Amino acid sequence: MTGLMRRWLAHAIFALAAFATPLLLSGNRYFAFIAGITFFSVLWATGMNLLYGYTGLMPLMFGGIAGISAYVTIGLSANGWSFWLAMLVGSVAASLVGIVLGLPALRLRGFYFTLCSLVIQTVITLAFVYFVNLTNGDVGISHIPLPELPGGRQLAGTAYELVLATIAVIGVVVLTVIVESSFGRRLTAIREDDGLAETLGINVTRQKLAAFFVASLFASVGGALYAPYVGFISPRSFDVLLSLNIWVMVAFGGRGTIWGPVIGAVILAPVPFVLQDYYTIKDVVYGLLIIGVVVLLPGGIVGGVKRKGRADAPAAVAKQAAPVR
């Protein structure tokens, strides 16, 4: 009981911080923008956590799904649709695509699935470049108008960041609910051993595809809102580097925990902006971070703390603790 209360307390604190940040930063549009981008990262990292942390699949086409949603949403609203309806259709469509792209996960595991998802991501990026009529090719789409609100006003500035904060909070709550539910427990069972899960009577196919749908929904809602917020999208906005960066946030924070990826996103998302003046070393820093996480912090920050806290590390963390001699 106290554990449950404590969990929701953490959510309340997170929600409070999320809503306070845009209000506190409203005086400086640049910092407020960084906060906005961080909310996207929190949402995306939370969605990838469902796949990578709880289902045990590392998808590298996450960015591509966000991109499909962004292009569909922008395309529809350019044809006169209301942004919100377009976003609904775009997100659901992209999530259905996400299920299809998740199909290989039924046959492939571990590295083979990840490689497959990398190929899919490459195909998606190529397609964004190739179908110039739909996507404007490598030039990208600029001048993306802000979403209209009822009453003819535009969603802009601090209000936009508050919407993003809401979405991020909802994302974390949804993940928590899923993890606590029997659906979440079935996913964890699949992560540990999907053969065993099958013999326990779990319909692995259906669970995996459901996980892909939900995670893709995280990706695509983010993608749809990202486009007007930044005002510009191009195939490069949603390439494999985005997927990798989200993966780093999840792994760095600690996969398979609710707060690990959130912490990872909050720490890492502002890094490119902070490093703006040190542009030359940005890629190198990110690369070192990836290697550092794999070599030194296989359980992420939260995993590391947990491991220190408890003498008998839980099985999942011990399994990730890579260099066993």
Residues near another protein (CB under 8 A) are 28-30, 33, 58, 104, 107-108, 110-112, 114-116, 119-120, 122-123, 126, 129-130, 132, 136-140, 142-144, 230-232, 234, 236-237, 241, 244, 247, 251, 272-273, 276, 279-284, 286-291, 294-295, 322-325
Which string of DSSP letters, residue by residue, matches 141-207? B--PPPPBPTTS-B--HHHHHHHHHHHHHHHHHHHHHHHHSHHHHHHHHHHH-HHHHHHTT--HHHH
- Distance between the two ends of the chain, CA-based, in angstroms? 40
Minimum CB–partner distance for residue 256 and another protein (Å) = 15
Minimum CB–partner distance for residue 193 and another protein (Å) = 13
| Residue type, position 8, single letter | W
Minimum CB–partner distance for residue 44 and another protein (Å) = 15
Nearer CB in complex with another protein: 8/232: 232
Nearer CB in complex with another protein: 14/54: 54
Nearer CB in complex with another protein: 15/75: 75
Nearer CB in complex with another protein: 89/321: 321
Question: Sign of torsion, CA 87 162 238 97?
Answer: negative
Question: CA-CA distance, 325 to 320, in Å (whole number)?
Answer: 14
Nearer CB in complex with another protein: 61/178: 61
* Token pair listed for 50: 């469902």
The residue to which tokens 């190198």 are assigned: 284
CA distances from 216 to 87, 157, 206 (A): 14, 27, 15
Minimum CB–partner distance for residue 226 and another protein (Å) = 11
Nearer CB in complex with another protein: 14/252: 252
Minimum CB–partner distance for residue 305 and another protein (Å) = 21
* Contact (Cβ atoms closer than 8 angstroms) between residue 179 and residue 55: no
CA distances from 93 to 90, 103, 163, 168, 303 (A): 5, 16, 22, 21, 35
Minimum CB–partner distance for residue 210 and another protein (Å) = 21
Question: CA-CA distance, 121 to 246, in Å (whole number)?
Answer: 14
Angle, to 10 degrees, between the axis of helix 62-78 and the axis of helix 110-130?
30
Minimum CB–partner distance for residue 265 and another protein (Å) = 17
Nearer CB in complex with another protein: 170/271: 271
